[in-house]
């Protein structure tokens, strides 16, 4: 017996009731399902009484059995997903290419289709799959912060170490932004790429650990892209300090030469340079010109190409990078 009360049709008054588990059968979409539900009986006449909370509970148990039998993801799993991946219901729906309210409806109890259920189940079961969806469909999100928060949480879930602010690529990026005027995200990407390539040519090792990808507009370092994406085609705010204390003399020599000999060109000109070079061309192969891809440019391709450039142009020291930049400009623009 409990302290709750409901109206008893037999006693014609509000009564307390007894609640107990019972086996129930019910039809849904023409199919009969069997499940464990609850039943309330009047504490005075022992007849069954209607209790809205118990009715809702039984309906939910019916839906749960339906989901189980039809292999539909459970409501509990759906409700866990925004917390697991640190993303709102609406952003998650947009990320998946669905209507803005679709995931919210499923979260509130609506039954997903078999197709959508399969997607949700895979996302729930496999954080690495979710991360790939997040990376591929990030442009569906209306806020870069939503992407970054979800990415950080998912990477933490997978045990992936994130690039710290003290990583060499960030130190070099800040140095470039301090030294160069009106540098756009596009130009920054290409300058980082040339620093990586020419440093290998002269030092026989790479200056960055990060991989770059063969995007439509040339080589791109993904984390750097998202760090400055909000600037789009505009110059990045010039509020960076030139902390070069973590740069070796040999590293700074290459960086300063790239600044002197390549930062004078616009991002679009530098993009054209990379489009004529083997690493980007070879990686994209037969992809259509505007096809998006996250294929990484093999570091060996970069190292071999720039080593060959150094040898062909008889480069003895970093200042000779200007020979290559002038040749490329003449090849592309003359």
Q: Which among 24, 49, 70 is the end of a domain?
A: 70
Residue 320: predicted pLDDT: 96
> DSSP alpha helices (H): ranges in the chain?
52-70, 75-84, 89-95, 102-107, 114-125, 127-136, 144-158, 168-179, 185-203, 222-228, 249-262, 267-275, 278-284, 299-312, 321-333
- Residue 163 belongs to a domain: no
Residues 111 and 219 in one domain: no
Cα angle, residue 192 at apex, residues 189 and 197 outer, rounded to 5°: 125
- Residue 198 belongs to a domain: yes
- Residue 258 belongs to a domain: yes
Residues 114 and 242 in one domain: no
Residues 116 and 263 in one domain: no
Residues 206 and 329 in one domain: yes
**Of 237, 225, 235, 217, the residue nearest 169 (C-alpha):** 225
The three-state secondary structure class of 159 is: coil
Residues 79 and 109 in one domain: yes
Residues 179 and 259 in one domain: yes
Q: Which two tokens stand for residue 56?
A: 């809702």
Residues 61 and 129 in one domain: no
Per-position pLDDT tens, the chain of length 334: 456 899 999 999 999 999 999 999 999 888 899 999 999 999 999 999 999 999 999 988 888 888 888 888 988 899 999 999 999 999 999 999 999 999 999 999 888 988 999 999 999 999 999 998 998 888 888 777 788 889 889 988 888 766 666 688 989 999 999 999 889 999 999 999 999 999 999 999 999 999 999 999 999 999 899 888 888 889 987 666 666 778 889 999 999 999 999 999 999 999 999 999 999 999 999 999 999 898 999 999 999 999 999 999 999 999 999 999 999 999 988 6
Host domain of residue 54: 5-70
The answer to whether the beta carbons of residues 293 and 284 sit under 8 Å apart is: yes
Place of tokens 């995931």: 103
Domain count, the chain: 3
Residue 228: predicted pLDDT: 86
pTM beyond cutoff 0.75:
no
């Amino acid at each position: 017996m409990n302290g709750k009360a409901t109206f008893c049709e037999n006693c014609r008054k509000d009564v307390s009731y007894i609640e107990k588990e019972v086996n129930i059968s019910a039809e849904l979409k023409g199919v009969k399902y069997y499940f464990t539900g609850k039943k309330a009986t009047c504490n005075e006449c022992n007849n069954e009484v209607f209790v809205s909370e118990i009715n809702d509970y039984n309906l939910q148990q019916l839906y749960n059995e339906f989901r189980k039998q039809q292999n539909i993801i459970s409501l509990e799993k759906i409700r866990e997903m925004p917390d697991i991946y640190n993303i709102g219901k609406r952003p998650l729906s947009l990320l998946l290419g669905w209507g803005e309210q679709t995931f919210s409806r499923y979260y509130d109890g609506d039954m997903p289709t078999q197709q959508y259920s399969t997607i949700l189940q895979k996302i729930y079961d496999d954080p690495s799959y979710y991360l790939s969806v997040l990376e591929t469909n990030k442009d569906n999100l209306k806020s870069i912060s939503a992407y970054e928060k979800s990415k950080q949480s998912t990477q933490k879930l997978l045990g992936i170490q994130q690039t710290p602010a003290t990583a060499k690529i960030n130190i070099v990026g800040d140095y470039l932004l301090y030294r160069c005027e009106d540098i756009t995200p596009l130009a920054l990407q290409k300058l980082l790429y040339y620093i990586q390539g020419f440093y290998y040519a002269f030092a026989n090792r790479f200056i960055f650990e990060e991989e770059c990808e063969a995007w439509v507009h040339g080589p791109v370092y993904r984390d750097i892209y998202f760090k400055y994406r909000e600037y789009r085609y505009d110059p990045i705010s010039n509020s960076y300090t030139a902390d070069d204390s973590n740069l070796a003399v040999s590293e700074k020599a290459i960086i300063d030469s790239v600044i002197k000999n390549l930062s004078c060109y616009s991002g679009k000109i530098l993009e054209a340079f990379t489009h004529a070079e083997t690493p980007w061309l070879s990686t994209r192969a037969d992809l259509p010109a505007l096809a998006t891809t996250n294929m990484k440019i093999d570091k060996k391709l970069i190292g071999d190409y720039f080593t060959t450039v150094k040898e062909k142009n008889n480069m003895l020291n970093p200042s000779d990078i200007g020979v290559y930049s002038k040749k490329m400009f003449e090849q592309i623009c003359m």
